[in-house]
Amino acid sequence: MALMGREGLCGKIRFLPRDHSVNGITIALSKGRIFDETLPLLAAAGIVPEENPETSRKLIIGTNRPEVRVVIVRATDVPTYVQYAAADLGVAGKDVLIEHGGEGLYAPLDLKIAKCRMMVAVPAGFDYDKAVRQGARLKVASKYIKTAREHFAAKGVHVDLIKLYGSMELAPLAGLADAIVDLVSTGGTLKANNLVAVEDIMPISSRLVVNQASLKVKRETLQPIIDAFAGAVEQ
């Protein structure tokens, strides 16, 4: 994943920040767990959204600081908004960033929120280990095609990857796939659908991502926010 930490920046193309006033800051967030778990970090930076996206239809939400606004986008779109400077910074899961590729993004912080695991799951009773040992060609459904491809390639397992966007657990039950690669938090959804996790691919958490050009142009405004996030994470 072409993301850099605090030690440097990456990416060949840099998009200049769009005009939300020269010193205005736009933060891209997705609804749900990431938004809720980002609120304490925003508070540490002195930023309080004026509305909750779960109860408001607004996609642009003001904050207690007139120069700071929040835009509500799909989780998978956060890196794109930041990369193309429609937002100065955002919060996105490692899973999303891997699939996106990370070009043009500066990722200084693992925020350690929205934690879960990327795993391989199969129907209960399916002998996954035996199928792998015998060199069977597996059909695998996932939203995370890049992650799945790299995982099975490293294991030397031949797979046919099927791209889905939701209801992943249905794929094995309907005969579409032998296995799925998906995020697992408590495992409750797997259990409810008679699936079992058989392989752990990687831990997942959410990262702070920053537009490179924004960081140069608005460093005096952005750096204190980044530092406040870092301080809150370390507590």
Looking at the structure of the chain, the number of domains it has is 2
Instruction: State yes or no: pLDDT of 127 exceeds 90.
Output: yes
Q: Print the domain residue range for 162.
A: 116-204
User: What single DSSP character describes residue 91?
Assistant: E
Neighbours of 196 (CB within 10 A): 16
pLDDT of residue 21: 54
Each residue's pLDDT tens digit, 96-116: 999 998 777 899 999 999 999
Sequence-separated (6 or more) residues with CB below 8 Å from residue 231? 44
Each residue's pLDDT tens digit, 2-36: 454 543 434 444 454 444 555 699 999 999 999 99
Based on the fold, state whether residues 51 and 41 are members of the same structural domain. yes
In the numeric block, which tokens belong to residue 150? 């790299």
Residue 178 falls within a domain, yes or no? yes
Residue 2 falls within a domain, yes or no? no
Based on the fold, state whether residues 129 and 200 are members of the same structural domain. yes
Measuring CA to CA, which residue among 41, 38, 145 is closest to residue 93?
38
Lookup result for tokens 């910074």: 89
pTM for this predicted structure: 0.86
pLDDT of residue 179: 98
The CATH number for 173's domain is 3.40.190.10
Enumerate helices (H) and strands (E) in the chain, giving the number of each.
9, 11
User: What single DSSP character describes residue 206?
Assistant: E
d(CA 13, CA 17): 13
Based on the fold, state whether residues 107 and 223 are members of the same structural domain. yes
Based on the fold, state whether residues 125 and 178 are members of the same structural domain. yes
Instruction: State yes or no: pLDDT of 67 exceeds 60.
Output: yes
Based on the fold, state whether residues 39 and 80 are members of the same structural domain. yes
Lookup result for tokens 């490293």: 154
pLDDT of residue 3: 53
Residue 107 falls within a domain, yes or no? yes
Alpha-helical segments (H) within 84-144: 94-100, 128-133
Residue 19 falls within a domain, yes or no? no
pLDDT of residue 159: 96
Lookup result for tokens 């537009």: 211
- Mean predicted confidence (pLDDT) in 170-187: 96
